[in-house]
Amino acid sequence: MPIKLRYILVLVLVLACRRHDPARQLVLSGSSTIAPVAGELARRFEATHPGVRVDVQSGGSSRGIADARKGLVQIGMVSRALTADERDLTAHTFAHDGIAMIVHRDNPVLAFTRAQLIEIYRGTATDWSVGGGHGRIVVVNKAEGRSTLELFLAFTGLHAADIRADVIAGENEQVIKTVAGNPAALGYVSIGSAEGAIAAGTPIRLVAIDGHAATRAAVAAGTAPMTRPLNFVTRGPPSELAAAFLAFAATDEAQALIERAGFVPIAPRPM
């Protein structure tokens, strides 16, 4: 092509690669449970703070911790409480989440005890008669590394290697689709996604454990069997932009977004 056009093209490409001003850019990474709602918060934050860009990346709570420690991100997203050797980071809890056992809507079993749950997932109880139904149980477990799995293991006291599952799913949605497609299936998911699916007509049902229902109201009241805090973590004092974002997450507007996403806001309102 003519020389002049070539140079103009190169100039345009170079100009298009402007670097972002670090004071106006915020990066979050971590839990895939938190990522969607963090994205919602980010969009709202960007709208009220012109010129600011907020990037949200997934990768799991472990990545959130690692990236925050290394300084790769200003805020890590962690969907559990920090452990003893994570005390070098500061956790800012912005919501609560719970995990519920779900079964198919046509399944007559309404409740389990913790002991029954342990037996089912360990593989020593394989039939629905343990809960009052009949037929073989199709056990759905989460893949390794998911904090949902870790919370389930903490609640049941099992190790990952003890579990005998029929199906291993990667995401909450896959668990829901598997249970919705199989009247004999039993699985566990985040309460928010379960309630959202039920509201959309998916044929699943929440199951109580040890007499405690696992609903968002129960999480807010503190009676749900398996709950976890949703945290934004920072290392050391947060930057000005990060602090502004954290403050925004505690406002009523943000908490309404959090509630719409299926989690329980930290300042529980009557539901």
- The residue range among 5-13, 87-95, 137-145, 189-197 that interacts with another protein, by the rule CB under 8 A, is 137-145
What six digits make up the tokens of 251? Answer: 């406002």
Least distance (Å) from another protein to the CB of residue 140?
9
List the structure tokens of 90.
């500061």
Does residue 165 interact with another protein by CB under 8 A? yes
Per rule CB under 8 A, is residue 62 in the interface with another protein? yes
Residue 59 or 268: which CB sits closer to another protein? 59
Closest C-alpha among 201, 192, 171, 191 to residue 37: 192
Residue 136 DSSP class: B
| Contact status: 60 vs another protein (CB under 8 A) | yes
Task: Identify the residue among 85, 106, 144, 240 touching another protein (CB under 8 A).
Answer: 144
Map residue 159 onto helix, strand or coil. Answer: coil
Residues in 6-45 that interact with another protein by CB under 8 A = 32
Out of 109, 184, 226, 264, the only residue in the binding site for another protein (CB under 8 A) is: 184
- Residue 223 tokens read as 């009676």
Instruction: Please say which residue, 43 or 164, places its beta carbon nearer to another protein.
Output: 164
Gap between the Cα atoms of 31 and 233, Å rounded: 11
Q: 145, 138 in Cβ contact below 8 A?
A: no
- 68 binds another protein, rule: CB under 8 A: no
Q: Which two tokens stand for residue 244?
A: 């502004």
Give how far the C-alpha of residue 203 lies from the chain's centroid of Cα atoms, to the nearest Å. 22
Residues at the site binding another protein, with contacts judged by CB under 8 A: 32, 58-60, 62-63, 66, 135-136, 138, 143-146, 159-161, 165-170, 174, 177-178, 181-182, 184-185
